[in-house]
Amino acid sequence: MPSFAAIFARKPISASAKANDTKVREHRCRALVIGSGFGGSIAAYRLSQKGIDTVVLERGRRWVTSKENDVFASTRHLDGRANWLNGTDLFTYAVPPTGERPKEPLDKYVGLVEHLHEDGMYVLAPAAVGGGSLVYNSCLVQPSEENFYACFPREVDYAQMNSDFYPEVVRMMGAGPIPDDVLQSKHYHGARLMNQLAVAAGVPIHRINTASDWNVIRDEIYGRRRPCAIEGDIWYGANSGYKNSLDKNYLKHAEDSGYVKVQPLCNVLEIAEKGGKYHVTYARIDEHGNELAREKYISDCLFMGAGSMGTTKLLVKAKHKGGLPNLDDSIGQMWGNNGDTFGHFSIGSPAGSHEGGPAHLVATDWKDNPMGPQTCIAYPDHTLPQDAIQYLGMSIPSEKGYFDYDEASDKVTLHWANANTEQTRERMRLTLKKFAQSLPDPERAKQAVASIEVGGGDATAHPCGGVTMGYAADHFGRVKGYKGLYVTDAAFIPLGTAACNPALTTAAFAERSMQEILSTDLA
Ligand SMILES: Cc1cc2nc3c(=O)[nH]c(=O)nc-3n(C[C@H](O)[C@H](O)[C@H](O)COP(=O)(O)OP(=O)(O)OC[C@H]3O[C@@H](n4cnc5c(N)ncnc54)[C@H](O)[C@@H]3O)c2cc1C
């Protein structure tokens, strides 16, 4: 079995494949998709059903789990496979306050998560064939109608989202709630505790549809597969294969159709429209990020699926550099952090922080928090003390970020004022206080309340917006100013997804847009 060090061993770039080769190879296709996350995979699959030849350019690599080897890094043993071409940044929860940081920088590798330090905001952005579906906690949470309309325009029919598009995504991704026997196992003691606290606090709590194969997790419990979910290994891919990631459903069906070709390790650099065609220039890279060659696709139509950060940066740059000058002036506006926070408190006895994942219970404090709807999802975090329960918080954000292009550095940057950070944290604190106060022993409850710590508001794994409905795009993802240019990913979502994690709503909107586009524009 090759060691990971061997996989990392650097190979010299052959002279014939150097980046500064002057000749740019050109290819043609009918439809081009940039990025293979939720929006990109759904676009590709629906295009394939119409028999439209489609190419997907994805900067990340393809990951296939195996029975023999650990394909991914884990939170307890990090290496370059965790990070996108960055040896030093780490998820905070991969760095125990008392434990060990990796002593050396990680190998520079095309790992799963990009760390973006923008102006006032720290963003995690996925990078892989399948995008965020390999990285995420696999929670597919649907907003209520009331919260939905606090975020989305009335032109979108919630009833249709609820009856058609949300259930279709859940079905396609094979998502379902945690089964009773798994929840009752020793690995999910913390979840049962969270449930008790929420019930005692009078906060509604539900089992989430999780895009996980619970039979694989059962196999982990009974020792038939390597432990992964049950050890709380939820962020950097799943070595046991428990995640129903997009490469196993939407994208697989698209490729199996014969109409879709996915090209990993192709990093798109520039987009321009010429004579009604889209010219997309990209770098073919190796697994250490070295450029091997520069190539170009020329396509009739272009679907943006590079995520909120990727799509927005590419389009803002194209507007300013002249490739797509007619884009609406609102391009790069209406960006939000989904109201994300995180927080924890200690209960004085073993809690959920060292237990199993993925997250599978959602507490919806949507009516009774005086500062607005607050959602809380508990998840394992082995870097905290054993008696802590760690929660991710989401709410309806009010603050808006924007992107702009700087000619001197040739870079697009997100700007965020951080004006509402304390308010966002306070809303989360109010809900956590309800849980902590519900501990049956009054002394323990007092200590738990005193131990509440809330952070975030200035960091997010849920970037949304930049090319949003009703602003730079119409309500079906047609980007204003250009025929045949579409946005299908989280860039389309203004600010956030109504106090829920964004993948399900992003995907449901992609389904809705593709249905409209394929039945009208590409009929
Ligand atoms: C740690 C973590 C945990 C999360 N947990 C959850 C969760 O439990 N539930 C939930 O709903 N959401 C979760 N999310 C958020 C979720 O992953 C995103 O909302 C979702 O993936 C966004 O989908 P998307 O279609 O916008 O694109 P993404 O899934 O972000 O995919 C975009 C793709 O485009 C590619 N790309 C970007 N730029 C380029 C370029 N220039 N050229 C070529 N390719 C490019 C990227 O490599 C990536 O594969 C989590 C995110 C993270 C980081």
Strands 25-34 and 291-304: parallel
pTM: 0.95
Amino acid at 354: H
Cα–Cα distance, 233 to 380 (Å, whole number) = 8
**Residue 42: half-sphere exposure toward Cβ, Cα within 13 Å:** 34
Cα–Cα distance, 405 to 122 (Å, whole number) = 18
pLDDT at residue number 75: 82
Q: For a pocket test of ligand 1, which of 462, 495, 504 has the largest count of ligand atoms closer than 8 A to its C-beta? A: 462
Phi and psi at residue 165, to the nearest 5°? -80, -45
Cα–Cα distance, 422 to 413 (Å, whole number) = 23
CB atoms within 10 A of CB 61: 18
Instruction: Give residue 37 CA to ligand 1 midpoint distance, Å.
Output: 6
Instruction: Give residue 451 CA to ligand 1 midpoint distance, Å.
Output: 33
pLDDT at residue number 8: 43
DSSP string, 9-69: ---PPPGGG-TT-SPPEEEEEEEEEE--SHHHHHHHHHHHHTT--EEEE-SS------SSS
Residue 147, helix vs strand vs coil = helix
**Residue 297: half-sphere exposure toward Cβ, Cα within 13 Å:** 26
Cα–Cα distance, 107 to 312 (Å, whole number) = 28
Instruction: Give residue 353 CA to ligand 1 midpoint distance, Å.
Output: 25
Here the tokens at position 477 are: 């993802």
Domains plus CATH for the chain?
A: 23-72+112-173+244-334+460-523 (3.50.50.60), 176-236+340-395+419-456 (3.30.410.10)
Q: Give, using CA atoms, the residue closest to atom 21 of ligand 1.
A: 132
Instruction: Give residue 180 CA to ligand 1 midpoint distance, Å.
Output: 30
Cα–Cα distance, 207 to 211 (Å, whole number) = 12
Residue 2, helix vs strand vs coil = coil
pLDDT at residue number 68: 80
Q: Edge-to-edge, what's the strand order for the sheet holding 388-395?
A: 205-207, 361-365, 374-378, 388-395, 341-346, 453-456
Cα–Cα distance, 153 to 468 (Å, whole number) = 11
The tokens 């209960």 sit on which residue? 347
Q: Give, using CA atoms, the residue closest to atom 30 of ligand 1.
A: 307
Instruction: Give residue 125 CA to ligand 1 midpoint distance, Å.
Output: 6
pLDDT at residue number 214: 97
Here the tokens at position 213 are: 């194969």
Residues with Cβ within 8 Å of residue 47, at least 6 apart in sequence: 31, 33, 54, 254, 259, 260, 303, 514, 518, 522
Question: Mean pLDDT of successive 10-residue segments in the chain (523 residues)?
Answer: 42 42 88 99 98 98 90 87 85 50 77 95 96 97 98 98 98 98 95 95 98 97 95 92 97 98 98 98 98 98 98 98 98 98 94 91 97 96 90 96 97 96 97 97 97 94 98 98 98 98 98 98 95
CB atoms within 10 A of CB 26: 11
- Asked if residue 506 lies in contact with residue 468, where contact means CB atoms within 8 angstroms, the answer is no
Strands 122-126 and 459-460: parallel
Instruction: Give residue 419 CA to ligand 1 midpoint distance, Å.
Output: 26
Listed in sequence order, the DSSP H helices in 278-322 are 307-321
Residue 507 Cα: closest atom of ligand 1? 25
pLDDT at residue number 23: 81
DSSP string, 154-217: TTS-HHHIIIIIHHHHHHHTT-BPPPHHHHTSGGGHHHHHHHHHHHHHT--EEEPEE-B-HHHH
Q: For a pocket test of ligand 1, which of 41, 62, 121, 137 has the largest count of ligand atoms closer than 8 A to its C-beta? A: 137
Instruction: Give residue 136 CA to ligand 1 midpoint distance, Å.
Output: 8
Instruction: Give residue 148 CA to ligand 1 midpoint distance, Å.
Output: 21
Cα–Cα distance, 455 to 228 (Å, whole number) = 27
Residue 479, helix vs strand vs coil = strand
Q: Which residues line ligand 1 (CB under 6 A)?
A: 34-39, 57-60, 113, 124-128, 131-132, 135-139, 235, 267-268, 305-308, 310, 314, 461-462, 489-490, 501-504, 506
pLDDT at residue number 4: 43
